[in-house]
Chains A and B, each alone.
Chain A
Amino acid sequence: MLEYFLPRASSFAGSIDHLFDLITYLVMFWFLLTFAFFLYVVFRFRAKPGQKAQYITGETHKQKQAIEIPHYLILVCDLAILFYTFKVWHEVKIDMPEYDEQVRVISQQWAWTFEHAGADGVLDTEDDIVLINEMVLKKDTQYQYELQALDVMHSFSIPVFRLKQDSVPGRKIFGHFKPILEGEWDIQCAEMCGYGHGFMPARVIIKSAEEYDAWIAENTPAHLKQDTAYATTESESKEAPNNG
């Protein structure tokens, strides 16, 4: 249901949406049922001339059942939600898939710094591409992010990824995502972090593999570029057996 309002741009966005759907539909079912029951009761037992209201103490087993049965049924629904919650929580926050790319996210009052690993795919090397308030990602690539805060707590939130992770000063927090939709989307701070909290929006730009490689090439200084001629030869030699 949520995807009609906000596209899903990460591999786990669907799981979060399904959890929301499950909660929404179960709660909606019980809400409508209870509401309908109350409307019926109000109508059925409306004031009539000559009829006195009864005082029910709820002590007999039969009277208690009116509460007990729905109570247990709702508990079963809760367990269903709980089970699915653990499953999604593990998928999004606990399990760390093998990653192909790394990106470092540094939050501060009131800006985001994104350190991209650059052409060699390794952080903290000379060819890192550092951008402020702009994160560039490659579609269909498993990422690991490292989240830091320089001053106070912030929260790294990308609504289209259905991702929200607090950043805490003094801690390095690792997480993962896999962008699955090309485009440009919002990143926001979701933890009140001071006066400029509302003015620290950033953008995530998800590019196709070709566009991403072109972007890397464009932002890598000439002397750090890998020998492309060699790379071509290598890939050709790998493909050669298939062609033959």
Chain B
Amino acid sequence: MVGFLASLGSAVSHANDERGKQLYANCVACHQADGSGLKLLNAPAIAGLSEKYVAAQIAKFKAGHRGGDPRDTSGLQMRPMASLLASEADIAAVSKYVASLEPKPIAATLEGGNAERGKALYATCQACHGADGAGNDLLNAPSLLNQHDWYHVAQLQKFKDGVRGSNPQDTTGAQMRPMAMMLTDEQAVKDVVAYIQTLSN
């Protein structure tokens, strides 16, 4: 009986994995089959991000709490895609699948960042994202590893401008805004991103 229940349980979870993989077909055009993203379509790497973070972001896009600002042109691209996931169960299934993808090293595109200076600036980030940049689900902080540098720059800029994280419903995004504000100029953003890139290697 126990064995039967166990096999039933595994069958259900297997079915969920299949569902997640099926649903991920909608994401492939931009985020790629391996979840490594595509700059041409402003799609970040998502492989290996935590299930909780991915599910939370999809829910935010769906509700317009993220990507709901008219200035957020690349966020607006994601919004209709998130609305394709009709139920909580679908969001959970696809998030699980995304989390199961193996992250891959991403080539650097950014020039002019000073990783040494970035290291000092990263002290602020460390509290939530961890010294190793692997993130912390308990603090709603995503992993920063194996991510495109242009995406980090763009998101920091969006947090600074209030294009991301300024919706009153986006409480976890609001946490990030004052942190991004500490990077006072473009050079500081580049420096810290340059340092974050070294964490992946």
Binding site for B on A (CB under 8 A): 106, 108-111, 113, 115, 130, 132, 150-151, 195-196, 199-200
Contacts and interface: CB of A to CB of B under 8 A. Distances in A.
Interface in B16-58: 29-30, 41
7 nearest interchain CB pairs?
A199-B80, A111-B76, A195-B29, A113-B70, A130-B70, A110-B80, A196-B80
A132 B64 contact: yes
B70 A132 contact: yes
Contacts of A109: 76-77
Contact of A111 (B29, B30, B79): B79
Contacts of A111: 76-77, 79-80
A111 B61 CA distance: 13
14 contacts: A106-B70, A108-B76, A108-B77, A109-B76, A110-B80, A111-B77, A111-B80, A113-B70, A132-B64, A132-B76, A150-B73, A195-B29, A196-B80, A199-B81
B73 A199 contact: no
Given A110-B77, A150-B73, A195-B30, A132 B83 contact: no
The interface centre, meaning the residue of A111, A151, A195, A200 with most chain B CB atoms within 10 A of its CB, is A111
Contacts of A195: 29-30, 41
Nearest to A200: B80
A133 to B, nearest CB: 9
B68 interface: yes
B76 A110 contact: yes
Contacts of B29: 195
A200 B68 CA distance: 14
Contacts of B83: 199
Given A110-B76, A132-B64, A132-B76, A199 B84 contact: yes
Contacts of A115: 70
Contacts of A150: 73
Given A108-B77, A111-B76, 4 more contacts: A111-B80, A132-B70, A199-B80, A199-B84
